[in-house]
Amino acid sequence: MKLVSYRHRGEDRAGAVVAGRVVDLDPFLPGGRDMLSLLRAGPEALTAAAAHAQRAAGENAAVHPRLAVVELLAPVPRPPKIVAIGRNYADHAAETGMKALEAPRIISSCPRR
């Protein structure tokens, strides 16, 4: 299942892409209409969302917007935590003119709300 955060007709939503169309996953978003709500709901919600998306796209594909007409947003808008690995590949270290580190440098951030 390909998950997307998207804007359509002025509303930000979480959806699944099926056969070039975006199926809204609102029924599986407890506490909100964003991707973080779906991810926090756990594996059972993801499984149910995948089944819903396949079924919904097969029943009446025309009611779901084409991927080409929605505005894609960041996969997880406003994430509670960001973790990155710096210079973890020798090629990347070479690109930056830096010496490769013996161990990856971990960078984390908890954005303010």
0.85 surpassed by pTM: no
Check residues 27 and 1 and name the one with the higher pLDDT: 1
**Cross-strand partners of 76:** none
Output the CA torsion sign for 7, 55, 17, 44: positive
Q: Which single residue is written with the structure tokens 């210079």?
A: 87
**C-alpha Rg value of the chain to the nearest Å:** 18
- Determine the pLDDT at residue 66: 95
Q: Which of 79, 76, 60 is nearest to 4 (CA)?
A: 76
Of 100 and 8, the one with more pLDDT: 8
Q: Which amino acid is at 110?
A: C
Mind listing the pLDDT tens digit for each residue in 38-97?
Answer: 888 899 989 999 999 999 888 887 889 999 999 999 998 888 888 887 766 778 778 888
Read off the pLDDT of each residue in 28-37 and give the average, rounded to a whole number. Answer: 79
Does residue 1 surpass a pLDDT of 60?
yes
Looking at residue 66, the DSSP 8-state letter turns out to be: B
